[in-house]
Amino acid sequence: MPVLTDVKRLYTCPPEARADDVGEIESAAMVWREGRVEWVGREQDLPVAYADEPEVSAAGLTVVPGLVDCHTHLAFGGARADEFTERLNGTSYLDIAARGGGILSTVRATREASEELLQVNADLLLCRMLRRGVTTVEAKSGYGLSLADELKQLRVYKRLAQTSRQRLIPTLLAAHAVPPEFSGNRDGYLDLICNEILPAVAAERLAVFCDAFVETGAFTPDEARRVFAAARGLGLVPKLHADQLSDTGGGALAAEVGAASADHLENISEASIRAMARAGTVAVSLPLATLVLGVEPLPARELMEAGVPVAVATDFNPGSAPVADLPLAMWAACVRQRMTPAQVLRGATTVAARALQLHGSVGSLLPGYHADFVLINSSSVETWMYSFDPDAIWYAYIGGEVAYD
Ligand code: NIG
Ligand code: FE
């Protein structure tokens, strides 16, 4: 039963709390048993029952819950650096998509890539994310868009969930774009998703969530409703890429279908904010994608004031966010979304866990929770975010075991 001592500050990040309540404990200690937190508090209050247990010194570092990246497109083929330059020269993301680039160019490369190559590349990314303190990762499909290729992506995640250190949560995103072989036959593609892809995914238990990209040029709210109804019938929980490039009522749709989260929301309406607040839907902000695409971020303050919990994630993907760095996304959420360091810490831990419906077991350092935590070379989360240091993460523990040092 290890006892972590000599902690400068520890942030428990309680699940049910105000948007800026990070459960800060100065001069803290924490005890865990069989991978779960058993006791946490001030070191001076450590119960004598733990006096003879082995001590692990935090050497004065700061401890936060393991970070949760609740929105990534982890496995894909190819790269799109050419589009990066093209966008910098003035071509829009939608124009690139309209000429068959964007998501569809990654679909071509992902279909061509072997399962082994996808796995090796995703595994390297997971290692990089671990060095950034990320201990739980959501991973979407959506670059296969056929039965065989969506299953290929999700099977990569299933194997990585067994072999990698992090907790991996898979999401089906077959409704990401209409693939070229169905252009002019959208209903045919929706039939394929509902009648073949979803049942196969459910039968092999390859995904927890079912996501859809609701946007002009992608899927309409009614098309997404159809996909979500089929998903619900098979036990998958809805999630949405919503109101990213325009207001399509995505936030309200997420509330209506009981989605675990609505992600992006750069163009969310006030009516959708109210609907999400009433339904308790989590908003996932993706500040790196807004930086890369050069657009305004979501109204994080307004959402929080309305009572909507706001998570922060990377949206790691080859197009709009090719940077797998959650602390950087947290920093960007501070400077671009006017979220405080406390709010982004909650956003990348307990609120992100809520977006994955894991807030009873992950994202907080309280008794019963997985002992997933990160030691940071900074005196507080405020200091960490203020003078953003990419090398501040010194150690990561998952289930009470050292995963990165
Ligand atoms: O979350 N918005 C749609 N999907 C991704 C981008 C995918 C891509 O460009 O390949 C996103 O930004
Ligand atoms: Fe995304």
Closest-approaching ligand to the CA atom of 138: 2
Alpha helices by DSSP H, listed for 99-184, are 103-112, 115-131, 147-163
Known binding-site residue numbers for N-formimidoyl-L-glutamate:
143, 317, 319
213 CA to centre of ligand 2 in angstroms: 8
191 CA to centre of ligand 2 in angstroms: 23
**Class of 67-355 in CATH:** alpha beta
CA proximity to 213, closest of 185, 245, 182: 245
366 CA to centre of ligand 1 in angstroms: 35
Q: How confident is the model at residue 278 (pLDDT cuts 50, 70, 90)?
A: very high
CATH topology of domain 3-65+363-404: Urease, subunit C; domain 1 (2.30.40)
Residue with CA closest to ligand 1 atom 1 = 315
**Amino acid occupying residue 317:** N
Q: How confident is the model at residue 112 (pLDDT cuts 50, 70, 90)?
A: very high
CA proximity to 109, closest of 173, 157, 71, 152: 152
Q: What is the average per-residue pLDDT within 387-397?
A: 94
Q: How confident is the model at residue 272 (pLDDT cuts 50, 70, 90)?
A: very high
- Residues 207, 209, 210, 214: is their CA dihedral positive or negative? negative
For the segment 279-326, what is each residue's pLDDT rounded down to a tens digit? 999 999 999 999 999 999 999 999 999 999 999 999 999 999 999 999
Residue with CA closest to ligand 1 atom 3 = 213
For the segment 151-176, what is each residue's pLDDT rounded down to a tens digit? 999 999 999 999 999 999 999 999 99
Q: What local confidence, expressed as pLDDT, does residue 325 receive?
A: 98
Q: 33 pLDDT exceeds 90?
A: yes
User: Percentage of the chain with pLDDT > 70?
Assistant: 100
Q: How confident is the model at residue 35 (pLDDT cuts 50, 70, 90)?
A: very high
For the segment 343-365, what is each residue's pLDDT rounded down to a tens digit? 999 999 999 999 999 999 999 99
Known binding-site residue numbers for 4-imidazolone-5-propanoate:
80, 143, 176, 244, 320
Confidence (pTM): 0.98
Known binding-site residue numbers for Fe(3+):
71, 73, 241, 315
Q: What is the average per-residue pLDDT within 47-69?
A: 96
Q: List residues near ligand 1 (CB under 6 A).
A: 102-103, 106, 213, 241, 244, 289, 315, 317-320
For the segment 216-230, what is each residue's pLDDT rounded down to a tens digit? 989 999 999 999 999
70 CA to centre of ligand 1 in angstroms: 14
- DSSP-based three-state secondary structure for 359: coil
Range(s) of the chain covered by CATH 2.30.40.10: 3-65+363-404
Please say whether the beta carbons of 327 and 133 come within 8 A: yes
Range(s) of the chain covered by CATH 3.20.20.140: 67-355
Number of helices (H), then strands (E), in the chain: 16, 16
